[in-house]
Amino acid sequence: MIYKVTIDTTESLLILNKMGVHGLKDTVYFFVEADNPDEACHRSLDKLKTSIIERNLTDEIVDYLEDELHHDIKTTGLIGVSPHL
């Protein structure tokens, strides 16, 4: 199934901006294919991390992504969507 996942990144933006990561919005949306909602959330988090790394990659950012990011974001929406047939 394909899920649309909405993530609120408001709390992490200030920290990421100080680390040199710019261009993220306070709300981001990802469409992911997953077997269940938990997997969809994990895949969305992976996509968010990849997006941040593509903007700037330092050891400090990697440490933040591994240890703190999941505490500073919120999944605010999760809906299953069907592909248009």
Confidence of residue 85 (pLDDT cuts 50, 70, 90): low
What is the pTM for the complete model shown?
0.89
Contacts of 54 (CB under 8 A, 6+ apart): none
Euclidean distance between CA atoms 10 and 15, whole angstroms: 10
pLDDT in tens, 19-71: 999 999 999 999 999 999 999 999 999 999 999 999 999 999 999 999 999 99
